[in-house]
Homo-oligomer: A and B are copies of this chain.
Amino acid sequence: MFLKNIWYVAGWTTEFDAGDLAGRMIAGEPVVFFRKQDGTLNALPDRCPHRWAPLSKGRLEGDDLRCMYHGVKFDADGNCVEVPAQEKVSPQLCLQPYPVAEKHQWAWIWMGDPAMADPSTIPDCSYMDAPARRFKTGQLDYKAHHALVSDNLLDLSHVAFLHEKTLAAPPEGEPEDKKTGQSVGGAAGTRIETGVRYENWRVGDFGRAVVQAKSGGTGDVWSRLDYVVPGIFISRVATYPAGTAEKCDFGTPPADVEPLSDNISCQAVTPMTERTTRYFFSSGPRKADVTDEEADGMWKVASAAFDEDLDMIEAQQKIIDNHPANRMAWIDADKGPAMFRQLMAELMRKEGTPVEAFPPNRSASDTVARPDVVEAAE
């Protein structure tokens, strides 16, 4: 069971070409996407109401979509406009269209009540629209429940361990066994309206960020990471001249100071089924900060790290599925993931979706969420 009244990322806008019928699985529902002749993206259930053939195997006829099993035809709003060799058309033969929107490089879809779909509630991923970036995108399919993928992104304390050989690789000559910066770890999360925020300044010897200042580490690094429902990761990491953090009292960096380097990443976690999840990711360092070759190198490292996540999380899912339910044990770093799970549960409860189905474990008691700890933290 999935949260329905929410915008999900269905794909990159560039995935949906004119003339194509693109079948996707979103939150347990098969959906077919196509562009109308005016270029607008349209989405209908990918399941003909007649005998449940996939409409993505159908034929686009102008703005209409014909099922190519027995030829029943629908308009872009899902109304049946033709049944071959039949005069009257039954009102049962219709499809409920899904609200869609294209915004910030992504195609978004609303899986719940169309009347509630308001594109202004789409999370602000405008970082991806910024010019003068060396923008790269990718995606991966997980054989795991989306909550496990979200947990991962909500607690970056895992970087020092899972990604010790990629993102956290120490420079030559440095000792391996060093302390982890917990700055963006799950313990540092604070609730914002639609998710969890991680915000901090690392000053001085700030460890190794994915993007290091060209100046060689002599600056203050500011990072903000928002993770918002249903699974949108929006982050910026910027290096400022040394002293900036103190000058702005360790708050949001002042708008009039130019960062020495600046990198952004938006990512999205979209459930396909209860055990498959599509993960979209991007990176955008400023053109001024890195060469194309450097951006390629960073991207290779990030991609290798995403493969490490995939490998670990799919293994974790297998153990969860093979093991009788019981409670997972709590550590401080679970605070961020738990706040997010709690928020998701609230939203699901509000729309009547059973909450016990949310954690990828076998029973409701099987969750990491510790309301006492979470509440105390708020």
Q: Could you list which residues of chain A lie within 8 angstroms of chain B, going by C-beta atoms?
A: 28, 30, 46-47, 49-54, 57, 66-72, 83-86, 90, 92-93, 151, 155, 157-158, 160-162, 164, 180, 182, 185, 187, 273, 311-312, 315-316, 319-320, 322-323, 327-334, 368
Q: Are B92 and A161 in contact (CB under 8 A)?
A: no
A52 proximity list for chain B (CB < 8 A): 316, 319-320, 323, 328
A30 proximity list for chain B (CB < 8 A): 319, 322-323
Q: Which of B70, B187, B330 contacts A158 (CB 8 A)?
A: B70
A83 proximity list for chain B (CB < 8 A): 331-332
Q: Are A332 and B86 in contact (CB under 8 A)?
A: yes
Q: Using A54-B319, A57-B315, A319-B30 as known contacts, say yes or no to A331 and B162 having CB atoms under 8 A apart.
A: no
Q: Are A331 and B72 in contact (CB under 8 A)?
A: yes
A331 proximity list for chain B (CB < 8 A): 50, 70, 72, 83, 86, 90, 93
Q: How far is the CB of A146 from chain B (nearest CB, A)?
A: 15
Q: How far is the CB of A65 from chain B (nearest CB, A)?
A: 13
Q: Which of B51, B187, B312 contacts A85 (CB 8 A)?
A: B187
A-B contact pairs, 29 of them (CB 8 A): A28-B322, A30-B322, A47-B319, A47-B323, A50-B331, A51-B316, A51-B328, A52-B319, A52-B320, A53-B315, A53-B319, A66-B161, A68-B161, A69-B158, A69-B162, A69-B312, A70-B161, A70-B333, A71-B157, A83-B331, A83-B332, A84-B160, A85-B157, A85-B187, A85-B333, A86-B331, A86-B333, A90-B329, A93-B331
Q: Using A84-B160, A85-B180, A180-B84 as known contacts, say yes or no to A316 and B50 having CB atoms under 8 A apart.
A: no
Q: Are B312 and A57 in contact (CB under 8 A)?
A: yes
Report Cα–Cα, A330/B86, bound state, in Å: 11
Q: Are B332 and A70 in contact (CB under 8 A)?
A: no
Q: How far is the CB of A107 from chain B (nearest CB, A)?
A: 22
The 3 closest A-B pairs by CB, nearest first: A85-B182, A92-B329, A71-B161
Which of A53, A151, A311, A334 has most B Cβ within 10 Å? A53
A180 proximity list for chain B (CB < 8 A): 71, 84-85
Q: Are B57 and A92 in contact (CB under 8 A)?
A: no
Q: Which residue of B lies closest to A309 (CB)?
A: B69
Q: How far is the CB of A54 from chain B (nearest CB, A)?
A: 5
The DSSP consensus for interface residues of chain A is: loop
Report Cα–Cα, A319/B56, bound state, in Å: 12
Report Cα–Cα, A28/B323, bound state, in Å: 9
How many copies, total?
Answer: 3
Report Cα–Cα, A157/B289, bound state, in Å: 62
Report Cα–Cα, A49/B320, bound state, in Å: 11
Q: Are A312 and B53 in contact (CB under 8 A)?
A: yes
A320 proximity list for chain B (CB < 8 A): 52
Contacts A71-B158, A83-B331 supplied; 17 other A-B pairs, CB < 8 Å: A51-B328, A52-B319, A53-B315, A54-B315, A54-B316, A68-B161, A68-B312, A69-B161, A69-B162, A70-B158, A84-B160, A85-B185, A85-B187, A86-B332, A86-B333, A92-B330, A93-B331
Q: Are A84 and B51 in contact (CB under 8 A)?
A: no
Q: Using A54-B316, A331-B83 as known contacts, say yes or no to A68 and B164 having CB atoms under 8 A apart.
A: yes
Which of A46, A160, A316 has most B Cβ within 10 Å? A316
Report Cα–Cα, A333/B66, bound state, in Å: 16
